[in-house]
Amino acid sequence: MLVVHHLGKSQSERIVWLCEELGIAYELKVYDRDKVTRLAPPEYKKLHPIGAAPVIDDGDVRIAESGAIVDYIVAKYGDGRLVLKPEHPDFAQFLYWSHFANGTFQPATGRNMILSRLDLPADNPVLVAMKGRLALALGSLEERLSANQFLAGATFTTADIMVVFTLTTMRLFYAYDRKPYPAILAYLQRIGARPAYQRAMAKGDPDMTPLLA
């Protein structure tokens, strides 16, 4: 059986959510963060040389990296669901936003998180540049979601599963302002209404109210 090793309040929520959307059988193992460092506990770090979440086991296969895991699960268990085929008119957008999640959006947020802990002056050029990078990412999402129900267009896909973590749970670590982005906020309400998302968050992080508002 597929085993999902979920580190609380981490990108591994994507994998729990994906399994719930697909309705596939899986075993969920939940690990709590260290109360002092807020990092993965030693038993989680032993799962994979990278020592970061997520990690899954599928028989003899152990794989990390959320994007790789998403691709693996939909290829093996998805039966064509939650992805768009090359002939679909929104295929390019599906690919773009799927890779935007960890190629642009999450790195921009993570860099701002680190810089926010360094007590830099507001006019520090690196800080200004990184805030600008995050603003561009959020602006791109706002523009896309102002015209489309989901990131790939009218269809919910794994691109949405990849992006939502950085719009929600990541704000526990870096609480950037979403008020200037009404289309993003409306999108998050649509996401929060999905039964699979509700089940995933209740199973993986029952002590946390999803940061949708």
* Domains defined along the chain, listed by start: 2-82 (3.40.30.10), 91-194 (1.20.1050.10)
Does position 27 have pLDDT exceeding 90, yes or no? Answer: yes
The pLDDT tens digits for 100-142 are: 999 999 999 999 999 999 999 999 999 999 999 999 999 999 9
- What distance in Å separates the CA atoms of residue 64 and residue 173, rounded to the nearest whole number? 21
The verdict on pTM exceeding 0.85 is yes
CA distance 20 to 39: 26
Pairing of strands 2-7, 26-31: parallel
Cis bond leading into 125, ω under 30°? no
CB hemisphere CA count around 35 (13 angstroms): 0
End-to-end Cα separation, the chain, in angstroms: 35
pLDDT exceeding 70 applies to what percent of the chain? 100
Q: How many CB atoms lie within 10 A of CB 22?
A: 18
> Which amino acid appears at position 102 of this protein?
N
- What average pLDDT does the segment 7-13 reach? 95
CA 89 to chain centre: 25
- pLDDT exceeds 80 at position 51: yes
The pLDDT-based confidence of 11 (bands split at 50, 70, 90) is: very high
Q: What is the pLDDT of residue 164?
A: 98
How far apart (Å, rounded) are the C-alpha atoms in residues 148 and 186? 11
Tokens in use for 52? Answer: 């970061």
The structure tokens listed for 88 are 């679909």
Nearest to 92 by CA among 34, 157, 28: 157
Measured CA to CA, the distance from residue 134 to residue 80 in angstroms comes to 33
Helices (H) and strands (E) in the chain, counts: 9, 4
pLDDT per position as a tens digit, 175-203: 999 999 999 999 999 999 999 999 999 99
Specify the pLDDT at position 166: 98
Closest CA relative to residue 168, chosen from 192, 152, 146: 192
Whose CA is closest to 54, among 37, 20, 31? 31
**Does 33 have pLDDT greater than 90?**
no
